Amino acid sequence: MSTSRPLQNRVAPNGEICARPARGLMMGNRGGRLHGPDQRLGIRRWASKAWISCRLSFNNRRRQVMNAGYTELFFLDEATALAAGHRPCFECRRKQALAFAEAWANAAGLADRPRAPEMDAVLHAERLGDCDTIRLGDAPDGVMVRLADGPALIWGGALRPWSFDGYATPRPLNPDAKALALTPASVRAVLSHGYRPMVHPSADRTADPARADRREGA
């Protein structure tokens, strides 16, 4: 009987790296190697400020996960990666990375798209800071918030409870309610200026009519 254990390389919206069997739709890294020869993480949780989100496959490259080189991390979807502070990769997701940088420039009033290190410096400071309290009605689609019972995605005018396996039945969103935003402020601004993240298909399920009278918010 196999006694294999899930590797600790699945990322939650708050940035925590967990051991779960669900792989998700995206891969990424935090600038280098975080694991040892036993495929277990050490103390540190990043190797550089360059935290990126990547495609699961690119140019037929093959890697043995958590072997030599950087530590591969996995996300349910891009909304999860963005909440954890990972921007799009300029190599395997160049189109999305350029769109992200363009929206960043528009949000910040910059004349030109920022370079990756410029965005990484801002994102890293936000990752190390405290979460902001926001009004739910002011948040664009793609933002993750922390509710009393866990993370939830704001998508299509509803709150969609998050898990490593996907999103649960959506809940009505009270626009005047407030919650802690897991998605960093700079990323929220990017989302407000037109960047549309890739989300897990379960985010598009319809609401349960039996719960239509509930208005959720922390």
Contact between 11 and 81 under an 8 Å Cβ cutoff? The reply is yes
SS (H, E, C) the chain: CCCCCCCEEEECCCCCEEECCCCCCEEEECCCCCECCCCCECCCCCCCCCCEEECCCCCCCCCCCCCCCCCCEEECCHHHHHHCCCEECCCCCHHHHHHHHHHHHHHHCCCCCCCHHHHHHHHHHHHHCCCEEEEHHHCCCCCEEEECCEEEEEECCEEEEEECCEECCCEEECCCCEEEECCCHHHHHHHHCCCCCCCCHHHHCCCCHHHCCCCECC
Over range 192-209, report the average pLDDT: 86
Q: Rounded to two decimals, what is the model's pTM?
A: 0.91
pLDDT at 2: 42
Tokens for 179, please give them.
């919650």
| Residues 6 or more apart whose Cβ sits within 8 Å of residue 96 | 88
Q: Which residues of 57-76 are buried (b: 16+ CB within 10 A; e: fewer)?
A: eeeeeeeeebeeebbbbbbb
Tens-digit pLDDT profile for residues 33-92: 999 999 999 999 999 999 999 998 766 767 778 888 899 999 999 999 999 999 999 999
Tens-digit pLDDT profile for residues 161-170: 999 999 999 9
Residue 218 has pLDDT above 80, yes or no: no
Residue 189 has pLDDT above 70, yes or no: yes
Contact between 205 and 170 under an 8 Å Cβ cutoff? The reply is yes
